[in-house]
Amino acid sequence: MKLKAKVIKISTGGSLISILNNEDAKLMDLHALDRIKIKKGRKTETVVLDIADSKRVVAKGRLGVFEEVADSLNLKNGDEIRIMPARKPLSIGFIRKKLDGERLNKKEIEQIVWDIVHNKLSSIELTYFVAAGYTKTLTAKETIMLTNAMCHEGDILHLNKYPVIDKHCVGGVAGNRTTMIIVPIVAAAGLTIPKTSSRSITSPAGTADTMEVLAEVCIPIKKMKRVVEKTGGCMVWGGSLNLAPADDKIIHVEKPLAIDAKSQLLASIMAKKLSVSSTHILVDIPAGGGSKIPSYKKAAQLKKDFESIGKALKKHMKVIITDGRQPIGNGIGPSLEARDVLWVLKNDALAPKDLREKSIRMAGLILEMGGKAKKGMGKRIAKELLETGLAYDKMTEIIKAQGEKQTNPNRIRLGKYQADIKAGKSGRVKQVDNKAISKIARVLGAPDSKGSGIYIYKHMGDKVRKGEPLFRMYSESRHRIKYANDIIKAIGGFLIK
């Protein structure tokens, strides 16, 4: 069927989608989510079809194409094209197979990942794959196959170094910006640690969001390699690179449901580690009420799963379970967290003690894993690297190599509007709810508004007097401050007894 193109200047975020008028669709017996092939000259692209009931959207004789399709075929308004029905991707059958609880083989998993990376699945179909992994957990063998497939459908950072260190936290704890302290400590010790990090999914900030306050994080893989070769480390946004790209597409559909299917979580994390040629990996599993992993029993099982997949992939793996019952650090939100990080690295009196201590402990374990410290001595060496200023010097070196924005914590801009939340009674803080604190910080504008968020004054176990500030809110919007106050009345955040 011959049609004319109508370019719709909207990006789908990856999926290849076109829109056909209802009358033309009936003529060809096509339905929503069917596939069609679009041919222009020698170029052909297979896309997902949507149907328009109104001719105002797409008129009869026209095919609406979103930006991804237009770019792929170099289409302009009015270009003559030819369309024909096409079969759905093979992977849809494999996803259905997993939904039925059956096991997938290597070729089936590789086909699913290929279709994800090349935008052959609609967001609905991809969501079903995530749901299948959530309800019908992949076996250990399937998880390893998924890990390898996700890694090899992207670029790999090749480094002529050994060991290559990596570190990961499964998340769920507000604050907890240990990575940005660990990387400069470890690199200052002479180890290589190329760190790719994610942006926030449901938290007020991811490591990439926070590092972006200080330096550029969207850098190509060639520059990333130069930074690592020059400084020994980096902290960049994985989404700006073609490293295990299927992971970022899966995260995109996980976000609305705020779910992490365990098998896909394991594969996602390990694929990223393989893609930067990591040989030694430390994984942090924060556990406890209010965290992503609420029970220590579940954390212990996840620890075993990580150790098992690490062994199968022949990686040196250490997994620790840490206290995730409350936020780590004082700042919650990109700029506030970046300020905390620099205060720790500069040995400032304002540095949060819990963030400092956890970072030193984890850096110490990495130094022992990487052969820079004897067993039991890593923490002492990590502390020395921090206290002598070598870690801060390394951080400024990394920041400059990536593209400096700020290295002075006192010059980091915070939200224009501020308000304190005060204790309604005297007592002792029994709980600081991670989920509530994250929700409040996001309502205030984090992470999109870098200077928005929360600065916490009181933590679990602290005494508090009635009328004493518990935390301060920052936002670029007076309206958001007001809305956050309403949210606090509904969900609280602090339990005082």
Where along the chain do its domains lie?
2-86, 90-136, 165-409, 413-496
Selection from 352, 333, 332 nearest residue 342 by Cα: 352
CATH architecture of 90-136: Up-down Bundle (1.20)
The listed CATH number (3.40.50.720, 3.90.1170.30, 3.30.450.20, 3.40.50.300) that belongs to domain 413-496: 3.90.1170.30
**CATH class belonging to 2-86:** mainly beta
CA atoms 58, 63, 69, 75: torsion sign:
negative
Q: Which of 260, 284, 354, 433 is the catalytic position?
A: 260
CATH T-level fold of 165-409? Pyrimidine Nucleoside Phosphorylase; Chain A, domain 2 (3.40.1030)
Selection from 441, 420, 430 nearest residue 464 by Cα: 430
**Is 260 designated active site?**
yes
The SS3 call for residue 332 is strand
What is the distance, to the nearest Å, from the Cα of residue 65 to the centroid of all Cα atoms in its chain? 30
Six token digits for residue 197: 């990090």
Q: What is the pLDDT of residue 263?
A: 84
pLDDT tens profile 444-469? 999 999 999 999 999 999 999 999 99
Q: Is 41 exposed, middle or buried (0-12, 13-18, 19+ CB in 10 A)?
A: exposed
Segments of the chain scoring below 70 in pLDDT: 255-260
Selection from 428, 439, 452, 461 nearest residue 353 by Cα: 461
- Interatomic CA distance for residues 114 and 126, integer angstroms: 12
Q: What is the pLDDT of residue 247?
A: 82
Q: Is the peptide bond before 447 cis (omega within 30 degrees of 0)?
A: yes
pLDDT tens profile 348-370? 999 999 999 999 999 999 999 99
- Interatomic CA distance for residues 302 and 64, integer angstroms: 46
Residues 189, 233: contact at Cβ < 8 Å? no
The SS3 call for residue 412 is coil
Q: What is the pLDDT of residue 123?
A: 84
Buried b (16+ CB within 10 A) or exposed e, 454-466: bbbbbbbeeebee
Q: What is the pLDDT of residue 201?
A: 74
